[in-house]
């Protein structure tokens, strides 16, 4: 019986089977270990694909570690497009449609630009390349399916996250901030030294100190900022004075579903008496009222506007150091 000779049939059929300078494009959403492994697998498989064909030459590899939600934040994708336009690449090889464009319209726009410069794009998983006659129809169908699957997956995660927010079991409530650390059981535990600094900031504000005055006071006392810097920022102090965590409460917001418009506000939830407070209720409310009094903005049923009578800061003269301190 004659020996059977089995030969692998090439699945790739291109418009021009001559020499091609190939660029590999791979993308993952994050830098988590599982995603890094996925990136390595993508690049390895596609590189093997290139070296298996004698008329292909690997010109470059483009790797993005970014969500497909936007193209502008994918620097390697943009570099790949530029190289194609400049003639460095004649064929882009990528794993799948879901790795290429953020949506159908975006993907087709990029592919048309490349096609205008004689550059082909091949999607290995779908066995689809941009020079075949029915490409745009095939791409649109498969991209729509891939996008729908991504949105369904995203929405299922969001629903689960939102459920944990509404029933109070979300880990978001237990995210530590300055003055707290996460205990072994997952709860928030007070860091005594930092808690003293938090109380000091509240006391200084109620004593009449401005934000700038508090910044100066903390620097003079050599109290480092939450990020370990010698000076505190205005934003850090202003945010600290409004943080519900310091009176024992915690807040969380629900995430948007994939179909929600960007302008739609998310629901916010307050988890009262979630952990041990650093600042008592009376002090926290007093600071909130003082911040409102000092603010030049007011709001009522008619909307938000500037106050007619602007809050005027008092000036305290430090005769010893011959300098001024603004007390807001």
Whether the predicted pLDDT of 314 surpasses 50: no
pLDDT tens digits, one per residue of 195-206: 999 999 999 999
What span, in angstroms and rounded, lies between the C-alpha atoms of 198 and 249?
15
Poorest-pLDDT segment among 1-15, 80-94, 100-114, 169-183: 1-15
Instruction: Between 158 and 269, name the one with better pLDDT.
Output: 269
The number of C-alpha atoms within 13 Å of 76 and in the hemisphere containing its C-beta is 18
Query: What value does the mean pLDDT take over residues 309-327?
Result: 44
What span, in angstroms and rounded, lies between the C-alpha atoms of 290 and 292?
5
Instruction: Between 328 and 110, name the one with better pLDDT.
Output: 110
Domain 20-150 sits in CATH at 3.40.50.1390
What span, in angstroms and rounded, lies between the C-alpha atoms of 202 and 241?
7
Highest mean pLDDT among 55-64, 132-141, 250-259: 55-64
Q: Where are the domains of the chain?
A: 20-150, 171-256+265-327
Poorest-pLDDT segment among 77-91, 182-196, 252-266, 267-281: 252-266
Rounded to the nearest integer, the mean pLDDT of the chain is 78
Number of Cβ within a 10 Å radius of residue 241 = 21
Residue with token string 């064909």:
53
Beta bridge partners of 27: 64
Residue 51 is predicted with a pLDDT of: 87
Whether the predicted pLDDT of 162 surpasses 90: no
Check if CATH label 3.90.1750.20 holds for domain 171-256+265-327: yes
What span, in angstroms and rounded, lies between the C-alpha atoms of 275 and 118?
62
Residue 324 is predicted with a pLDDT of: 43
pLDDT tens digits, one per residue of 256-287: 544 444 444 456 677 788 889 999 999 999 99
Number of Cβ within a 10 Å radius of residue 221 = 9
> Band of the pLDDT at 191, cuts 50, 70, 90?
very high
Structure token digits, residue 94: 């990528």
Whether the predicted pLDDT of 16 surpasses 70: no
Whether the predicted pLDDT of 89 surpasses 80: yes
Whether the predicted pLDDT of 309 surpasses 70: no
Percent above pLDDT 90 for the chain: 40
């Amino acid at each position: 019986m004659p020996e059977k000779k089995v030969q692998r049939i090439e699945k790739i059929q291109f418009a021009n089977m001559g020499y091609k300078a190939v660029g590999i494009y791979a993308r993952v959403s994050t830098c988590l270990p599982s995603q890094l492994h996925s990136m390595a697998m993508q690049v390895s498989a596609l590189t093997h694909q290139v070296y298996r064909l004698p008329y292909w030459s690997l010109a470059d590899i483009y790797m993005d570690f970014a969500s497909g939600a936007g193209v502008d934040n994918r620097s390697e994708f943009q570099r790949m497009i530029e190289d194609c336009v400049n003639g460095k690449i004649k064929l882009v090889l990528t794993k799948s449609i879901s790795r290429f464009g953020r949506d159908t319209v975006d993907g087709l726009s990029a592919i048309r630009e490349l096609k205008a410069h004689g550059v082909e794009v091949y999607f290995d998983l779908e066995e689809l390349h941009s020079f075949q006659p029915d490409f745009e129809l095939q791409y649109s169908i498969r991209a729509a399916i891939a996008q729908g699957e991504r949105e369904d997956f995203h929405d299922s995660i969001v629903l689960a996250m939102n459920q944990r927010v509404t029933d109070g079991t979300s880990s978001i409530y237990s995210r530590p901030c300055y003055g707290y650390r996460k205990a072994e059981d997952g709860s928030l535990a007070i860091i005594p030294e930092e808690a003293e600094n938090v109380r000091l900031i509240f006391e200084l504000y109620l004593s009449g100190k401005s934000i700038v005055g508090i910044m100066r006071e903390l620097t003079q006392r050599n109290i480092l900022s939450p990020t370990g810097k010698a000076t505190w920022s205005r934003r850090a102090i202003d945010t600290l004075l409004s943080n519900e965590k310091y009176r024992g409460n915690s807040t969380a917001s629900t995430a948007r579903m994939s179909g929600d418009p960007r302008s739609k506000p998310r629901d916010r939830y307050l988890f009262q008496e979630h952990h041990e407070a650093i600042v008592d209720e009376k002090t926290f409310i007093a600071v909130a009222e003082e911040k409102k009094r000092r603010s030049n903005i007011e709001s009522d049923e008619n909307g938000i506007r500037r106050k007619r009578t602007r809050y005027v800061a008092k000036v305290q003269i430090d005769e010893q150091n011959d300098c001024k301190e603004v007390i807001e």
